[in-house]
Amino acid sequence: MKDPFAKTIGYRLNHTARLQKALSARLLSDLGLFPGQEAVLKLLTEEDGRTMGDLASALRVRPPTASKTIARLTTQGLVERRATDGDGRLVRVFLTAAGRERGEAVDGVWETLEDEMVAGLDGKEKKRLRKLLRKVEKNLALRLGADGGIDDEADGADEDDDTDA
């Protein structure tokens, strides 16, 4: 008899997330990156020279976690820290040329990952899956008393033209 817990949505979400993270790690390793580092490079590609606090906030991690990631990226020669003129205590993080190149390559990894995850789904199924996952995300965020980073504009966009609901 199959374990009834394996049939729960929670189990499926957890297992799917773990597999997605494992594939992401494998694809990122081809760029010499670890999961989480790509998000920093993408943030800096969008807006270079962010403060450590800004990065931690955008990544939704604690400042020590952001500092460790930046330290590792610095060691790899992908970012550099610079003190702000006039206030040596305020440090900003900038991409190096190698970091910018690697950050731009992350898009290809994300596209490959997305293609692999939704292989076999048609456009309507993908849209429906995104919509359902946003609902689950909202439920969890509300229960935790947080906004959870829900993009309400995206909700409206899919709901307006989703004919299979």
pLDDT for 7 beyond 50:
yes
Q: Provide the token pair at 71.
A: 């330290």
- Which among 122, 130, 125, 128 has a CA at the least distance from the CA of 151? 130
Cα separation, 126 vs 119, whole angstroms = 10
- Edge to edge, the sheet with strand 79-84 lists 50-51, 87-95, 79-84
Q: Is 117 helix (H, G, I), strand (E, B) or coil?
A: helix
pLDDT for 128 beyond 60:
yes
Q: Output the pTM of the full model.
A: 0.76
CA dihedral 77, 23, 143, 158 (to 10 degrees): 100
- pLDDT digit string, tens, across residues 63-119: 999 999 999 999 999 999 998 877 777 889 999 999 999 999 999 999 999 999 999
Burial group, residue 92, by CB count within 10 angstroms (0-12, 13-18, 19+): middle
- Which among 38, 15, 23, 13 has a CA at the least distance from the CA of 114? 23
With a pLDDT cut of 90, the percent of the chain lying above it is 76
Q: Provide the token pair at 83.
A: 């003190």
For residue 157, name the pLDDT band (cuts at 50, 70, 90): very low
